[in-house]
Structure 1
Amino acid sequence: MPSAFQQSVIDEFRANAGKVGGPFAGSDLLLLTTTGARTGQPHTTPLGHVRDGERLLVVGSNLGAPHHPDWYHNILARPAVQVELGTEKFDTIAVPAEGPRREELFARVVAESPGYADYRAATERVLPVVVLPLPAPRTPAPEVTSLAGKLTEVHVWLRGQLAQVHTETEAHFAARAAHQGAGAPPPPGLGLQIRQRCLAFCQALEFHHTGEDGHVFPAMEGYHPHLRHVFDRLRDEHRSIAAVQSALAELLADAAIAEPDRFRAELTRMTEQLTAHLDYEETEILPLLADVPWPPVS
C-alpha cells in the first residue's frame, strides 16, 4: 500500500491529467504500477522521470537510502508494468540499464535533474536507472469483437515478444564476439534487457495458458465434447512448454548468459514448440470462437 502522502499524490495526478502541486509542482511525474514480487498484488508509485527519445528513464534513488526501493525489486521479478503519463496509460517492459550504458543514462538524468547527484552522493549503492520504452506508433488495430479476435491479438503479441528476444539475443552475442584485445569482454549491455523481456514473455504465456486451462477450455468442452482430444493435446503442450520455460529461467539466472550456445538451443527449441502450439490452437480453436462476443456479455 502506498503511504498516505503517496496516495494523495496519486489521486492528485489522476484528477489533474498528471499535474500535481506542492513539492512536486512543475516536476515531470509518472505513475508506475508494478506487481509485487512476493504478493502478486499491484503497487502504484509516483516517480520523477526524464524523457530520452522514445523511452522514459526512472531512477531507483529511494531518496539516497541504503537499499533499493520496493518497486525496483518488483520489476526484477515481474518486468511487465503499467505507466500513467499525463492522461495516457500504457503497458511496457521495465529494463534496468547495465555497465557503461547505465552510466551514460544516469548522466543524462543528472543533466536534467541535478538532485539525483545528491542522492547518489548520499549512498554507497549504485542507483539503478530503469528504461521504460514508450509504445511505438502503430496503425490502429481493428476492433476486437469476438473471442477469436482476442485470442489472435494475444498470439500476435506473444510471437512479437519472442521475435524481439531473438533479436536482442543475437545483438548481445554479436557485441561479445566483436570484443578484441586483452582482458575479459566488457560487461554485457543487453544481459538484463534479454532477461527482462524473456521473463515478461514467460509470465504472460503462463497467465495465458492458465486462463485457457482453467476457464476457456472447460467451457468449450461443454459445447464441443467431440473435441476432447484437441483440448487434451493443448493442455499437454502447455505442460511441455512450461518445462522449456523453466530451463530458460535457469539460464537467465546468469544475466551475462555465459553459455550462449546452450541458450540459443533452448530458445530455438522453445520457439519451435510454441509456434507449432499456436498454429495448432488457431487451426482448431479459432473457428469455434468466431461467434463468441468480446468483451463477454454480462
Structure 2
Amino acid sequence: MAEDFNTRVIREFRENDGRVGEPFTGLPMILVHHVGAKSGAERIAPLRWFADGDRWVVVASAAGAPRHPAWFHNLMANPDVTAEIADGEGGVETVPVHAAELDEADRDRVWAWIKENNGGFADYERRTDRTIPLVGLTRR
C-alpha cells in the first residue's frame, strides 16, 4: 500500500530532525497533534508555520478547497494540544500549545504578510470563496 502524503511528510519530519522534502524543502514545519471533534480519534497534521511574536501561526487553507480542513474544526473544538515544532535549523521541540483563531484585524495583518512572502497562499485564496482562517498556537 502506498504511503499517503501526510504520512510521508510526518515520517520525513521525524527521521530528519524536522526537515522534509518537496514541497516543503527548507521551510519551518510543525506537526500539530489534534483530537477529532466527532470521533475523538488522535490525529496529526503536518503544516508550515509562520512566526508572529510568541506564537506559531498555521494557515487553514486546504490548498484553496471550498471547506476548512478537518484539523481546523478539531482545533476549534479541542484547542489544547501538543505540537512538534521544527526550527528550520535541525532542532525539534515538542510543546503543549493552545490554538485560537486569529481575530479579523490580526488575521488581516498576518495574512497580508504571508501572501506577500509566500505566493502560493495567494493562489489558494483565489481558488476559494471562503475566508481562510489563521490559527495561532501559543505555548501553554
Specify the SS of the correspondent of 2:39: coil
The structure with the greater share of residues assigned to helix is 1
Q: Does 1:127 align with 2:132?
A: yes
Segment of structure 1 superposing worse, 42-51 or 23-32 = 23-32
1:48 shift after superposition: 1.0
Paired position in structure 1 for 2:71: 71
Paired position in structure 2 for 1:47: 47
Q: Does 1:36 align with 2:36?
A: yes
Separation in structure 2 between the aligned mates of residue 50 and residue 134 of structure 1, nearest angstrom: 15
Separation in structure 1 between the aligned mates of residue 23 and residue 77 of structure 2, nearest angstrom: 31
Alignment of 1:104-183 (within 5 A): 104-134=109-139
Specify the SS of the correspondent of 2:30: strand
Q: Does 1:99 align with 2:104?
A: yes
Asked which structure has the greater RCO (Cα within 8 Å, sep 6+), the reply is 2
Specify the SS of the correspondent of 1:40: coil
Paired position in structure 2 for 1:85: 85
2:101 touches 2:136 (CA, 8 Å); kept in 1? yes
1:31 touches 1:46 (CA, 8 Å); kept in 2? yes
1:130 shift after superposition: 0.5
Listed one character per residue, the Cα deviations across residues 206-257 of structure 1 (whole Å, up to 9, x for unaligned) are xxxxxxxxxxxxxxxxxxxxxxxxxxxxxxxxxxxxxxxxxxxxxxxxxxxx
Listed one character per residue, the Cα deviations across residues 35-75 of structure 1 (whole Å, up to 9, x for unaligned) are 10011111101111111221111110000000000000101
2:102 touches 2:136 (CA, 8 Å); kept in 1? yes
Specify the SS of the correspondent of 2:17: coil
1:109 shift after superposition: 1.9
The structure with the greater share of residues assigned to strand is 2
1:25 shift after superposition: 1.1
Separation in structure 1 between the aligned mates of residue 117 and residue 49 of structure 2, nearest angstrom: 10
Separation in structure 1 between the aligned mates of residue 107 and residue 74 of structure 2, nearest angstrom: 19
1:83 touches 1:89 (CA, 8 Å); kept in 2? yes
Separation in structure 1 between the aligned mates of residue 98 and residue 139 of structure 2, nearest angstrom: 9
Paired position in structure 2 for 1:21: 21
For structure 1, the 5+ residue unaligned runs are 136-298
2:98 touches 2:139 (CA, 8 Å); kept in 1? no
Specify the SS of the correspondent of 2:66: coil
Specify the SS of the correspondent of 1:24: coil
1:56 touches 1:134 (CA, 8 Å); kept in 2? no
Structure 1 segments, 4+ long, off by >4 Å, are none
Specify the SS of the correspondent of 2:13: helix
Partner amino acid, structure 1, of 2:43: H
Aligned residues: 133
Paired position in structure 2 for 1:268: none
1:35 touches 1:74 (CA, 8 Å); kept in 2? yes
Separation in structure 2 between the aligned mates of residue 48 and residue 5 of structure 1, nearest angstrom: 14
Listed one character per residue, the Cα deviations across residues 110-165 of structure 1 (whole Å, up to 9, x for unaligned) are 23322111111110000001001146xxxxxxxxxxxxxxxxxxxxxxxxxxxxxx
Q: TM-score, normalised by structure 2?
A: 0.89
Partner amino acid, structure 1, of 2:9: V
Specify the SS of the correspondent of 1:105: helix
Larger radius of gyration: 1
Specify the SS of the correspondent of 2:43: strand
Separation in structure 2 between the aligned mates of residue 20 and residue 115 of structure 1, nearest angstrom: 18
Alignment of 1:111-260 (within 5 A): 111-134=116-139
For structure 2, the 5+ residue unaligned runs are 87-91
Paired position in structure 2 for 1:12: 12
